[in-house]
């Protein structure tokens, strides 16, 4: 970080605490007029202090083969080992789920697939399962079940511990599409842990915007690495690309084997850029819409900083809004205040001016930022005026 950047960073910290306080973005912190400005595809500046902070999530605990762990604080628990109140029969007529619940797990009872009553889309999903300890059958006939994301995409459940089967049908496979990259199963009878990140396909007007992806960890070992989806999955049939609904149920398969499940939960994921999210590469239209909204919020924040005895905080916050959106009224106000600021400095006694060194350097750094990103013209008079003051005081010389 160079001297100017460090100065601006220090100025930002002081400004955030002294001038701005709580805003529509929360408590502002971090550098002001610092990283690269927003562009046509990114509504936020680099290191943007206006960018929303991540939500606070208390981590859960890891599971062991003998004991289920605890989900993170924002997880939506679908099965905690006590009952099937959040599940129903996946048959045509629905009805109560009839699987056995015992000792903290549920077990397939040859009564058909079950599904969640709740529907959801993009998620981080956690599922634990165990094949029967008594080994019977081989290939697809051993501990067979399945986890159907949105009821459409099957992540295979199968005892493949010393049990070869077709590659795209093993545990951790996207059934019939993507074989797992590794077979990381524990022995039968022990609980296996699946952690899945699912992004559904997104279409608009019949055109694919995002084909969808799935990432799967089996007992902590990566089995699917952001694997592209090709539509729903099925037995012996090629998947066909197509749109998904926004939400769907999680479905567990009854394949005739007494497979057990426990500790099932999910976390909703934020929307991707193609469906309204503001992180990542956005379209020009979406970027400009978001930049306009950010600028509007900053201008509202600036209004609370108006002070006839000290216009600097208001000027800087209003000036910051121009980074996101051109606004003639805000621009005119900033120019007027900037010119008055320089005039006031020039009228200060020398001893008083010396106390303003850090402030002057920081404000001029903000002006230079605006010039660099073509928000102010190269010939911006207030910056020229501050350059003159800085040079006259010898503040431009390194020590």
pLDDT digit string, tens, across residues 83-134: 999 999 998 888 999 999 999 999 999 999 999 999 999 999 999 999 999 8
User: Looking at the predicted structure, is the pLDDT value of residue 6 above 50?
Assistant: no
* DSSP H/E element including 294: helix 284-303
Higher pLDDT pick, 384 / 6? 384
CA distance 255 to 171: 14
Predicted confidence (pLDDT) per residue in 250-286, tens digit:
999 999 999 999 999 999 999 999 999 999 999 999 9
Phi, psi of 297 (to 5 degrees): -65, -40
pLDDT attached to residue 399: 58
Predicted confidence (pLDDT) per residue in 36-75, tens digit:
999 999 999 999 999 999 999 999 999 998 899 999 999 9
pLDDT attached to residue 22: 35
pLDDT attached to residue 397: 85
Percentage of residues in the chain having pLDDT higher than 90? 82
pLDDT attached to residue 28: 62
CA distance 28 to 11: 13
The residues pairing with 149 across neighbouring beta strands, listed in sequence order, are 153
pLDDT attached to residue 239: 83
CB 208 within 8 A of CB 159: no
User: Looking at the predicted structure, is the pLDDT value of residue 82 above 60?
Assistant: yes
pLDDT attached to residue 25: 46
**CATH number given to 76-274:** 2.60.120.560
Predicted confidence (pLDDT) per residue in 291-318, tens digit:
999 999 999 999 999 999 999 999 999 9
The per-residue pLDDT of the chain, averaged, comes to 91
Burial class (CB in 10 A: 0-12, 13-18, 19+), 393: middle
Domain boundaries of the chain, sorted by first residue: 3-54+278-393, 76-274
Distance of CA 394 to the CA centre of its chain: 47
Predicted confidence (pLDDT) per residue in 167-190, tens digit:
999 999 999 999 999 999 999 999
């Amino acid at each position: 970080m160079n001297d100017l950047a460090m100065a601006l960073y220090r100025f930002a910290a002081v400004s955030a605490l002294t001038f701005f306080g709580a805003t529509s973005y929360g408590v502002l912190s971090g550098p002001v007029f610092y990283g690269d400005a927003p562009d046509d595809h990114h509504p936020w500046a680099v290191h943007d202090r206006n960018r929303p902070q991540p939500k606070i999530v208390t981590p859960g605990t890891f599971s062991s083969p003998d004991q289920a762990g605890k989900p993170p604080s924002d997880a939506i628990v679908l099965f905690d080992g006590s009952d099937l109140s959040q599940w129903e029969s996946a048959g045509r007529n629905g009805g109560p789920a009839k699987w056995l619940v015992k000792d903290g797990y549920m077990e397939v009872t040859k009564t058909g697939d079950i599904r969640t009553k709740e529907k959801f889309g993009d998620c981080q999903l956690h599922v634990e399962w165990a094949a029967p300890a008594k080994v019977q059958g081989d290939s697809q006939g051993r501990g067979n079940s399945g986890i159907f994301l949105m009821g459409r995409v099957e992540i295979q459940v199968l005892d493949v511990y010393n049990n070869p089967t077709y590659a795209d049908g093993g545990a951790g496979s996207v059934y019939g599409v993507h074989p797992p990259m590794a077979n990381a199963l524990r022995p039968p009878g022990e609980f296996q842990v699946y952690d899945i990140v699912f992004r559904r396909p997104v279409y608009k007007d019949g055109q694919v915007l995002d084909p969808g992806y799935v990432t799967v960890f089996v007992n902590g070992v990566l089995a699917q690495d952001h694997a592209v989806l090709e539509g729903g999955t099925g037995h012996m049939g090629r998947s066909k690309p197509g749109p998904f609904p926004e939400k769907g149920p999680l479905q567990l398969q009854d394949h005739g084997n007494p497979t057990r499940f426990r500790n099932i939960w999910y976390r909703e994921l934020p929307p991707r850029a193609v469906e309204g999210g503001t992180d990542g590469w956005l379209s020009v239209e979406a970027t400009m819409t978001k930049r306009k909204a950010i600028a509007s919020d900053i201008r509202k924040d600036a209004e609370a900083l108006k002070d006839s005895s000290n216009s600097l905080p208001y000027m800087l916050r209003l000036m910051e809004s121009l980074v996101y959106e051109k606004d003639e009224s805000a621009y005119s106000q900033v120019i007027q205040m900037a010119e008055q600021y320089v005039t006031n400095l020039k009228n200060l006694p020398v001893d008083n001016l010396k106390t303003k060194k850090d402030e002057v350097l920081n404000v001029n750094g903000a002006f230079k930022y605006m010039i660099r990103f073509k928000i102010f013209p190269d010939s911006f008079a207030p910056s020229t005026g501050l350059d003159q003051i800085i040079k006259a005081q010898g503040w431009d010389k390194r020590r």
